[in-house]
Structure 1
Amino acid sequence: MTGSAGNTGGTVNAADLAGWIRHAAELVSADAERLTRLDAAIGDGDHGHNLDRGFAAAVAALPADAPPGKTLIAAGRAIVSKTGGASGPLYGTALRRMGKAFGGASDEQGVDAALLGEGLRAALDGVRELGQAADGDKTMVDALVPAAAAYDEALAAGTDLAGCVRAAAGAAERGAEETVPMQARKGRASYLGPRSTGHMDPGAASTALILRALADVV
């Protein structure tokens, strides 16, 4: 990634994005037990292990010499194929929509701060459409919504790409924390009613982890 602080300069290329997927796989693997415990409290108890398997498959599927968009689309397809439960389609859709938002951007051209922001919003839109979830439903949307908003706010303020991603990652982490007192309105957790309160949503937790991986890489 190249660029200077204090402006919207900087780009990420396919190697950066592949590095993101690899680092996300590392963080998910290291945190799989915690994510699974979070899911055991209000869900099926398999989120961490499913996502670990999915991101391992995404790493294995990363193409050589592909442009940025196709790099993420390939990773997303692998996650859909290898991740069990609802997680595969949701996380795979997020990556595929982000990749498609990058259009024909070449590796030489790279993805700039504005285009990366479009990709993040496209990922959010894809998750919303597929999961039919809104913010406040105690899902991964509760991490993605503040992340996209914080990214846009930083971009509008003239922050460089790396700073925008850091802002998004921090907002996602705060969004995940804010799911603890929420009552779930979507998914298996919603069956628990008031008993779903007091627990962090595992999808929001893993979403924050994945965006932290992106911030680390760029």
Structure 2
Amino acid sequence: MQDDALARAWLRGFARAVEEGEEKLTALDSAIGDGDHGINMRRGTGQVRRMLLRDQATAESSGELLGEAGLLLRDHVGGAAGVLYGSAFQAIGAALGDRTGAAQLGDALQAGLDAVVRLGAAAAGDKTMVDAYGPAVTSFRAVCSQGGNLGEATTAAAAAAAAGARTTIPMQARKGRASYLGYRSIGHLDPGAASTAMLFRTLAEEVKAGPDRDLSFVRIACMPGV
């Protein structure tokens, strides 16, 4: 991330995706949770969008911007989702700092995943956002290790997150409110995994639009130090 242009676009895109998908997320959460995931996520991402409008002329590194977004998500999403999303963005921002390049973004995304796993005590197969986030990071870093570029890495991550979210449908929840339902949680898409798929989809979409913002680094290989 050469400057904060991609980070800003990603945050705006995610806020837009949450707004458009609010009813879907709420419906998913109504089936196996408290029924407020869409509402809460929109409230938090709405605060992020307002922050971007307020500070649109302020020069910040990508890391600082993502960290500030994390604080807003923690404060305004509420509940477990607020803590998990907020901590993920704070960890991403802290790991990224003012570093540049796709390999560094991969490291930062891994730091975000580590924060979610640590705080949620969740693992793959527990029917949580980890089931979408984990495959996304693995795919992103695999493309980088094979010499792919940022566009290819984020596209692979988005596809893996979507596929990972779908794998939660036949799972029985072992964490969170859904775990109280036992076998009745089977057959439902996890709402946190669904919103995580939105997160990686919007990152891929904004990277694809990168040349329009003159982000030439989007097209270079994911090599360390780039």
TM-score, structure 2 as length reference: 0.88
Opposite residue 167 of structure 2, the aligned amino acid is: E
Q: Which moved more, 1:13-22 or 1:39-48?
A: 13-22
Q: Distance in 1 between matches of 2:42 and 2:20?
A: 9
1:72 Cα deviation after fit: 0.2
Aligned to 2:44: 54
Q: Is the 8 A contact 1:183 1:194 kept in 2?
A: yes
Written as runs of structure 1 = structure 2, the 5 A alignment for 1:53-202 is: 53-62=43-52, 63=55, 64-105=58-99, 111-202=100-191
Q: Distance in 2 between matches of 1:138 and 1:82?
A: 24
Structure 1: state its 5+ residue gaps. 1-10, 106-110
Q: Is the 8 A contact 1:59 1:75 kept in 2?
A: no
Aligned to 1:108: none
Among 12, 37, 51, the residue aligned to 1:22: 12
Q: Is the 8 A contact 1:183 1:190 kept in 2?
A: yes
Q: Distance in 2 between matches of 1:189 and 1:85?
A: 14
Q: 1:136 to 1:101 in 2, by over 3 A?
A: same
What is the aligned-residue identity percentage? 49
Q: Is the 8 A contact 2:61 2:97 kept in 1?
A: no
Q: Distance in 2 between matches of 1:154 and 1:77?
A: 30
> What is the CA deviation profile of residues 35-68 of structure 1, one whole-angstrom value per residue up to 9, with x for unaligned ones?
0000000000000010011001112223421111
Q: Distance in 2 between matches of 1:13 and 1:24?
A: 19
1:86 Cα deviation after fit: 1.1
Opposite residue 187 of structure 1, the aligned amino acid is: G
Whose helix proportion is higher, 1 or 2?
Answer: 2
Structure 2: state its 5+ residue gaps. 208-226
